[in-house]
Amino acid sequence: MATPAPIQNLGGYQLPPGWSPGAPRGLQVLWMLLGQPLLGSELPGTGWRKALLRGFGARIGAGGRLKPRLRVKFPWRLAVGEHCWLGEAVWIDNLAPVTIGDRVCLSQGAYLCTGNHDFRSPGFDLQLGAITIGADAWIAAQAVLAPGTEVQERAVVGLGAVASGTVAAGTIVRGNPAVAVAQR
């Protein structure tokens, strides 16, 4: 029996034309070697985490809590409003911008994914989409936001839900794929 032709050419993968990490190489290396390991540590404290992220270009509002084991791919592509909570083991994988409104809660293990691959393309092309979360929204524990997702104000993405597209204002969604189940 003949071996089927490969459908993915991962050896030929290339970044999208014009895409860059968005910061000088030295800053990227410093973030990877020093910033991210400190941010993601078990050490307690919000103030120093906010200062660290700001030092690497993140825009972080007043108040709120940043918990241990927080991961941020590129802090210079992150904007967080006032009085937000970013829980333990939250992963902001922001190859594209992530904007978080005021009083947003990202619970433990939430994953914000701004980049994915086109499985239909032999080159496994990278597809990027910014994520926006409106004021007073809650992204519950272990929830996932897909590239290009907009969670509007007061919406809730429930425990372990996988949301993509737009989650309408005041809507509570759950499941995979996330579906509306109630209004807040």
pLDDT digits (tens, 9 = 90+) for 57-67: 999 999 999 99
State the sign of the Cα–Cα–Cα–Cα dihedral 111, 116, 119, 120. positive
State the sign of the Cα–Cα–Cα–Cα dihedral 50, 51, 52, 53. positive
pLDDT of 57-102, one tens digit each? 999 999 999 999 999 999 999 999 999 999 999 999 999 999 999 9
**Count of domains in the chain?**
1
In a domain, 30, yes or no: yes
Dist CA 80 CA 57 (whole Å): 12
In a domain, 2, yes or no: no
CATH number for the domain harbouring residue 91: 2.160.10.10
Dist CA 107 CA 144 (whole Å): 11
pTM higher than 0.75, yes or no?
yes
In a domain, 53, yes or no: yes
Q: Which amino acid is at 60?
A: I
Backbone angles phi, psi at 167, to 5 degrees: -100, 110
In a domain, 58, yes or no: yes
Q: Which domain holds residue 153?
A: 24-183
